[in-house]
Copies of this chain bind each other. A is one copy, B any other.
């Protein structure tokens, strides 16, 4: 059983080979080029006081970088397949360029290529992705309100260091505790363990994902039960594309199930039974979830895969206890992944359609929910929205 799941996990990764940070591919090739509206504003993710990069109301991005003696400067963000946005030298020694088309709404990773070297944009804040601290930019989303900082009670995000005998160190995790956690000392809370994607780490769901703000806003609106979220590093840095098929989920499973969960249940006021514990993840974190949750059904009852595969009827039928013990199977994707996803699968590789698989589960009586984030790709706005949809379905009694 375990072997089968891990084999399936590796196969799915190999078939999709989709890291968490592809080049951003806007949907519409646009001949003739539309007029660019000159209402550019600094990205909300810029470093303090930095005017660039900028974004306009259409989603075009404009870069400006100072490097007076450089020969060539490029930003790895723009229309897919064209190597990003080429910047041109200005009279003042800076380099400027505007993306050839609008980008999808939401968060995008990028970096600069300066004279053949990889550097971050000194105007932008950094976010860990692609096994490096990348530059980040935010194209304002029409529905950004659900992760805005609002005048509502805010939970905390705590950095914890937990002992990990299996890896011989103390490891870091972040723990979201909902508003009221510090006041209601007799209340105990369910827990969602929430994993990042390939090349990211335990900072992603707070920094890029705004998981804490999504929860604060859902709770303030009465849309979800307050619960704890635990985010730790999924040990995915070594899973280079060439070695993905042999990635072994067991070391992380040991850290998660044998070390982190007992620590959290000891140090936070959790409801520590199976029915109050969920596991979810994005991209490779979804594949980890798909491997670990069914193999630990006495530990987890609610499962979420965000752009990270799906369960076939065969997967669940052959997993002992799945029908009785699993209370939710949530599968989501960005709509652009479903449009273009099949094209990325190597010729001859079977790639299951996640909607078909999720529908089959539902028809067979499993608690299956399928969600599509409209007009987003394999990027964080898909996953912010997935968490918004997933959270209200958890721990209903």
Q: What residues of chain A have their CB less than 8 Å away from a CB belonging to chain B? A: 47-49, 65-72, 93, 112, 114-120, 122, 125-126, 131-133, 149, 151, 154, 156-163, 169-170, 175, 182-183, 185, 206, 212, 237, 267-269
**Which B residue's beta carbon lies closest to that of A169?**
B149
Q: Which residues of B contact A132 (CB under 8 A)?
A: 47, 122
Residues of B contacting A68 in the complex (Cβ-Cβ under 8 angstroms): 115-117
Copies in the complex: 2
- 28 A-B pairs with C-beta separation under 8 A: A47-B131, A48-B131, A48-B237, A66-B117, A67-B115, A67-B116, A67-B119, A69-B72, A70-B115, A71-B71, A114-B114, A114-B115, A114-B119, A115-B115, A117-B122, A120-B120, A125-B133, A151-B163, A156-B158, A156-B160, A157-B158, A158-B158, A158-B159, A159-B206, A182-B267, A182-B268, A183-B267, A185-B185
**Distance from A114 Cβ to chain B, minimum over Cβ atoms (Å):** 6
Residue of B nearest to A112 (CB): B119
Residues of B within 8 A of A71 (CB): 69-71, 115
Chain B residues within an 8 Å CB radius of A212: 159
The listed residue (B118, B126, B162) touching A66 by CB distance below 8 A is B118
> CB-CB < 8 A to A160: which residues of B?
154, 156
Q: Collect the chain B residues with CB atoms within 8 Å of residue A158's CB.
A: 156-159
Q: Which residues of B contact A131 (CB under 8 A)?
A: 47-49
A-B contact sample (7 more), CB < 8 A, given A49-B131, A68-B117, A118-B122: A67-B114, A67-B115, A67-B117, A70-B70, A70-B114, A93-B116, A122-B132
Question: How distant is A302 from chain B, measured CB to nearest CB, in Å?
Answer: 24
Residues of B within 8 A of A154 (CB): 160-162, 170
Structural contact, B117 and A120, CB atoms closer than 8 A: no
Are A170 and B183 in touch, CB under 8 angstroms? no
Question: Residue on B with the closest CB to A125?
Answer: B133
In angstroms, Cα B267 to Cα A183, docked, is: 7
Q: A119-B114, A149-B169, A237-B48 are in contact. Are A159 and B157 (CB under 8 A)?
A: yes
Please indicate which of the listed interface residues A117, A154, A183 has the most CB atoms of chain B within 10 Å of its own CB.
A117
